[in-house]
Amino acid sequence: MPEQRNAESLLLDLHLDRLSREDRVWLEAKLLLDADLRAKSDKLGNILRPLDHWSAPQPSANLADKILAAVRKSGESPTSEGNLTFAPVESNRFSRAMPVRSLRELFAIAACVALIATVAVPAIYGVRAQAKLSQCSSNLGSIFQGVRLYQAAFSGALPYAGNDDGASWLPGSDSGAPYMSNSRHVYLLAKLNYGPQPENFTCPCCSTSVAMQPDQLASYNDFAQSANITYASLNMAGKTPNHRPRGAIAYMSDANPMFVDGRFDAKVNPMSANSPTHGGRGQAVLTLDGTVRQMTTPVYGAKKDNLWMAGDIRYYNGTETTATEDDAFLIQGYPATDKKLITRSRLQQY
């Protein structure tokens, strides 16, 4: 089984984001079809997961300036010749003479170390942030593979768990409509084993995310809690939802900034706001042509469609739906099983 051994040898590079796009696509296809390989990949991911939560302390912004100022202030050492000489240790086969260093040289060495740390630590943070962005994009790519398999089984339709006409997808809404979570639809991909694993629905940049346990999937009809699904997905509300949108419509992305903890925030400007998941710098977006891109604006495409809005609607009570067949309206999923969230969201109305 040389091909199987080759796939296993690539698992570490997959988790460290060191694969080429071609190798990643090939390996992810293998993972979809091979449960044993997928189990090994999950085990390796669990081993490496603590690295995602490690963070080095940030140095103060003016650390280098402070040390260089201390060097200048120190001036010459108090000895007559400006050198502080250490007595040599008697040399034998077990010891050597200690090198002679002036106080100024010691300060210079300390300043160099501080300068290196000032440059290197932010670089390390940058590498870690980029790795998390890559993992976020990889998650959406895995979900897309599952969508394709689902469509092949259901005549091209997107995952759809059914809905009641007029139901609210926002638990904190004052519409009075019955509540039905939008995350139920993409949950089918995991529950029916179309490929995506529970961890694929949580962005590594979201500090509050918690992947659902695989052994829970069969017992639920939606994610167990909102922390299990940090991505927004295409609104599937309404009596006749858009099962087969045309073209490269956006299907999933990082969280919609207009809806927080089950409530609409009218203070957010949807024309310029980015997802809070990546610190407001942008969002990963999956379109139904299989493309995953990092966008720094919520507006995309020739028609300048806005990811966060249903048509031109600016205020939401949870019953709004997509305006046209090619309108991307990506909203959060707030599982009805998450009793704490639902209760808190209702109480906030009063």
The C-alpha atoms of residue 305 and residue 202 are separated, in whole angstroms, by 25
* Nearby residues of 33 by Cβ (< 8 Å), 6 or more positions away: none
The C-alpha atoms of residue 301 and residue 224 are separated, in whole angstroms, by 34
Average pLDDT over residues 284-292: 93
Domain count within the chain: 1
- Contact (Cβ atoms closer than 8 angstroms) between residue 59 and residue 123: no
- Contact (Cβ atoms closer than 8 angstroms) between residue 203 and residue 209: yes
Asked if residue 187 is part of any domain, the answer here is yes
Q: How many CA atoms lie within 13 A of 71 on its CB side?
A: 19
Tokens found for residue 50: 């603590």
Asked if residue 123 is part of any domain, the answer here is no
- Tell me which residue has tokens 């050492």: 77
| The dihedral formed by the CA atoms of 12, 5, 147 and 42, expressed in degrees to the nearest 10 | -40
Which residue range forms the structural domain that includes residue 277?
146-347
The C-alpha atoms of residue 272 and residue 296 are separated, in whole angstroms, by 9
Asked if residue 172 is part of any domain, the answer here is yes
Q: Is the pLDDT of residue 261 over 70?
A: yes
Asked if residue 168 is part of any domain, the answer here is yes
Asked if residue 99 is part of any domain, the answer here is no
Q: What pLDDT does 167 receive? A: 87
How much of the chain is in helix, strand and coil states, percent to nearest 5?
Answer: 40, 10, 50
Residues present in the chain in total: 350
Q: Is the pLDDT of residue 86 over 50?
A: no
Q: Is the pLDDT of residue 82 over 70?
A: no
For residue range 228-239, list pLDDT tens digits in order: 999 999 998 876
Q: What percent of the chain has pLDDT over 70?
A: 71
Q: What pLDDT does 302 receive? A: 80
